[in-house]
Amino acid sequence: MGARVRDTGVRLLDLVLPPRCLGCGEAVAAAGTLCGTCWRGVGFITAPQCAACGRPFPHDMGADALCAICVAAPLSFGRLRAAVLYDDASRPLILGFKHGDRTEAVPLFAGWMARAGGELLAGADLVAPVPLHRWRLFARRYNQAALLAARLGTLSGVKAAPDLLVRRRRTPSQGSLSREGRARNVAGAFALRPGRSVKGLRVVLVDDVYTTGATVAECARVLLRAGAAGVEVLALARVLKAEDI
């Protein structure tokens, strides 16, 4: 009965306020979706890809093939997967979600991530977001990674732990920093929340955009030092150079 009432309410709301594409604002069939044109512009990251970092390959190189970057400098955590490229098509969608209160995008984005990171989630005990500092969380009102992690927990059946990690100090924005600067910026910035244990558990860390990996690497370091059996990373989007695509 409750589901029927809710569905009726959604249909009535759609009549009054027709759902709009998250990208261009054109009318769409359901809220929190993209029109055909915007959908075709999204650069989904799919196989074939590096077995470790998920970097796309131009052709199939085998199930366990590694990219040259991972051979030269292996990840400091387990595997990395991202759903889409962070480019001109996805950037407005993600910034709207991150800074513009477009939280209706969570089901769509989490669905993309669940498909991209299915193998990671299948072997996980916990799914946890990269945390925001309390003052940034107060200003933004929500942690976008925590919303994604919660939805991923629902989709996968893996327990979501939105407060597993804490950000002990507020760090400057990473945007203008070099790879080395980013690593220094977040060094020592995270800690396991007091009273929580990850000993023997496999954790999937969730973030919105993966750039150099400095933030998730620091979070992974904290979890592994606390006894986690493994840490893998699942991001909504990933920054890649044109020559890496």
Going from the C-alpha of 114 to that of each of 13, 107, 169, 194, the distances in angstroms are 29, 10, 31, 29
Asked whether the predicted pLDDT for residue 214 surpasses 70, the reply is yes
Cis peptide before 194 (omega within 30 of 0): no
Backbone angles phi, psi at 18, to 5 degrees: -55, 135
Query: Residues 44-67: pLDDT tens digits?
Result: 999 999 999 999 999 999 889 999
pLDDT of residue 132: 87
| Separation of alpha carbons 245 and 54, rounded Å | 11
**Residues of the domain holding 205:** 73-244
* Paired sense of beta strands 165-167 and 190-192, if any: antiparallel
pLDDT of residue 5: 44
Per-residue pLDDT, averaged over 169-195, amounts to: 70
In a domain, 16, yes or no: no
In a domain, 10, yes or no: no
Structure-block tokens of residue 21: 């594409």
User: Residue 165 belongs to what H/E stretch?
Assistant: strand 165-167
In a domain, 66, yes or no: no
In a domain, 21, yes or no: no
Query: Residues 104-142: pLDDT tens digits?
Result: 999 999 999 999 999 999 999 999 999 987 877 777 889
pLDDT of residue 243: 61
In a domain, 15, yes or no: no
- pTM value is 0.88
The structural domain count of the chain equals 1
Helix (H, G, I), strand (E, B) or coil at 129: strand
User: Residue 178 belongs to what H/E stretch?
Assistant: none
In a domain, 127, yes or no: yes
Burial class for 191, CB neighbours closer than 10 Å (0-12, 13-18, 19+): middle
User: Residue 235 belongs to what H/E stretch?
Assistant: strand 230-238
In a domain, 121, yes or no: yes
Q: Which residues pair with 78 in a beta bridge?
A: none
Query: Residues 151-171: pLDDT tens digits?
Result: 999 999 999 999 999 998 766
What CATH number is attached to the domain comprising 103? 3.40.50.2020
* Paired sense of beta strands 202-210 and 126-129, if any: parallel
Sign of CA dihedral 77, 113, 62, 124: positive
Structure-block tokens of residue 153: 């927990």
94 contacts 237 by C-beta, under 8 angstroms: yes
| Separation of alpha carbons 40 and 207, rounded Å | 24
Per-residue pLDDT, averaged over 86-103, amounts to: 94
In a domain, 148, yes or no: yes
pLDDT of residue 75: 95
| Separation of alpha carbons 100 and 84, rounded Å | 20
